[in-house]
Amino acid sequence: MSDAGRPQRATEAFFGRRKGKPLRGLQADTLKSGLSSLKIDLETPAPQDIAALFSVPVETIRLEIGFGGGEHLVHRAGEQPKTGFIGVEPFVNSMAKLLSRVRDLGLENIRVYEDDATQLLDWLPEACLDRIDLLYPDPWPKRKHWKRRFVSQVNLDRFHRVLKPGGLFCFASDIDTYVNWTLLHCRDHGGFAWQARNAADWLTPYAGWPGTRYEAKARREGRSSAYLTFRKAG
């Protein structure tokens, strides 16, 4: 297929694998039962107050896009029981792993979506999220694939629409070109103010940061990480 015919993020396409090793029986059962109870159904209208999505009272709402192994999402949900967490991950094996941890820990402040995050973003009502986390997203390192990166003007428009006034967009990566790409895109968008005042602000992990397996891999390979925080402006 030519580049002209390839789906773009603006058309809600997902790029990447959806499945890895076949799930074992217990994993498959956990995935099926967990999704049936925790999956957000986009076929129904979004509630104006999305706190209604959770079975326990929550005061703030955070969205994590591409939670990978789920280490960060599970840690934050246990740390902040009054926050409702929405996790998005199209990779089946990662979703099964997360749902197993949610079950074992008895976490009730997590909901999930197992498809393209842009679909969820378009479903959500305006100004409903306190924070969006995009942590170690696929960097698509080849220049010809940069257009597949999740940070784009159209997706920043989506972020800006669903974040509350003063809401945060947090981005972490160990890939310099993607860090610079995100800084430039947020600057050009005009709706996000970078919160760093000095180098330590973006070289220091977020408060309570548990680390991720992607971060550990980067450190083993000699790469440092950047932690960018943008506040919704305008």
> What residue spans define the domains of the chain?
40-232
b/e map of 132-161 (b: 16 or more CB within 10 Å)?
A: bbbbbbebbeeeeeeebbbbbeebbebbbb
Mean pLDDT of the chain: 87
pLDDT range class, residue 26, cuts 50, 70, 90:
low
**For the domain 40-232, what is the CATH code?**
3.40.50.150
pLDDT tens sequence across 126-157:
999 999 999 999 999 999 999 999 999 999 99
Q: What is the DSSP letter of 12?
A: T
What percentage of the chain has pLDDT greater than the value 70? 85
- pTM as predicted: 0.87
User: Does the pLDDT value for residue 18 go beyond 80?
Assistant: no
CA atoms within 13 Å, Cβ hemisphere of 106:
0
The residues near 224 (Cβ < 8 Å, ≥ 6 apart) are: 174, 203, 218
Q: Which residue has the higher pLDDT, 18 or 213?
A: 213
- Catalytic (active site) residue 138: yes
29 pLDDT more than 60: no
Quick one: average pLDDT of 209-227?
Answer: 89
Between CA 84 and CA 96 the distance in angstroms is 20
Torsion-angle region of 70 (φ positive above 0: left; ψ -120 to 50: alpha; else: beta): left
pLDDT band at 24 (very low <50, low <70, confident <90, very high): low
Among residues 116, 122, 138, 157, the one annotated as catalytic is 138
Under a CB-based contact definition with an 8 Å cutoff, are residues 150 and 9 in contact? yes
**Coil/strand/helix, residue 232:** strand
